Amino acid sequence: MDWKEVIAKLESGELRSAEKKDGKWVANVEVKKAILETFKNGNNVDQADWNYPGFVDKHNIPARSFTPEDGVRMVPGGSSVRTGAHVASGVIIMPPAYINIGAFVDSGTMVDSHALVGSCAQIGKNVHLSAGVQIGGVLEPIGLAPVVIEDNAFIGAGAVIVEGVVVSERAVIAPGVILSKGVPVYDCVNGRQLEVGEAIPAGAVVVPGNRPVNAEKLPWASERNLTMNCAMIVKYRDEKSEASLELESFLR
């Protein structure tokens, strides 16, 4: 397939820039190559022909538009979805929000105000991305898997999830949590530290935390009792959690 066909199939949902194989999310390298080829073949033009006068972008990846038949509620006020991003029926996009090329946003998901869904990010069904959530994108390195948020996860306001972190189904990320490969995650329920690159477990409730600095590497900071950021799993979803996080079907 050439890049034009790949972009069209990404947008329709026939292709995805990452897929789950043997229980692990991996990048679809050929798809990512086609996305990069799209940028290479694009020319910067005034976007006035797509009703965005004064904006300049590649001529072959203009912002998408939606109709009622798409089943997407795109609320007015400055949001944008780039060509090559899949947005399924039943998704709500509150302004301002941005969904980049290669991203996949599945049905029933809420993308709230000031939320970013980065390039190639994978967002499952009935996910709630609260206000100010930043879901990192990744086009390069070519083989690096993107951030994945699986079905029925809840991402609290201002959370930042980057560097290919996977949040498993039904997990809850509390407001202000930062998840990256460099931020350790401690499972306080099971008494262990997650391995680097290990997915946030299904149903985990993750809150922001702090940890002491390494006294050998940073003695000055240790003497002053300075701490560093971490994330902590403090419980797993239960009936009380389910009641507080229930999504309202009438919004969709």
Domains of the chain: 3-64+76-180 (2.160.10.10)
Of 177-186, 226-235, 236-245, the one with minimum mean pLDDT is 236-245
pLDDT tens sequence across 71-109: 999 999 999 999 999 999 999 999 999 999 999 999 999
Q: 236 Cβ partners below 8 Å, 6+ apart?
A: 189, 201, 203, 204, 205
Of 96-100, 170-174, 245-249, the one with minimum mean pLDDT is 245-249
Q: Is the pLDDT of residue 63 over 80?
A: yes
Residues 151 and 196: their CA atoms lie apart, in Å, by 22
Single-letter amino acid, residue 100:
N
Residue 226 tokens read as: 């300075």
Q: Is the pLDDT of residue 251 over 70?
A: no
The residues with which 228 forms a beta bridge, in sequence order, are 211
Instruction: For residue 55, give Cα distances in angstroms to 48, 49, 58, 103.
Output: 7, 10, 10, 22
pLDDT tens sequence across 105-146: 999 999 999 999 999 999 999 999 999 999 999 888 888 889
Angle of the 3-12 helix axis to the 29-40 helix axis, nearest 10: 120
Using pLDDT thresholds of 50, 70 and 90, give the confidence band for residue 52. Answer: confident
pLDDT tens sequence across 10-23: 999 999 999 999 98
Q: Is the pLDDT of residue 168 over 70?
A: yes
- Contact by Cβ (8 Å): 98, 123: no
Of 21-35, 45-59, 168-182, the one with minimum mean pLDDT is 45-59
pLDDT at 207: 98
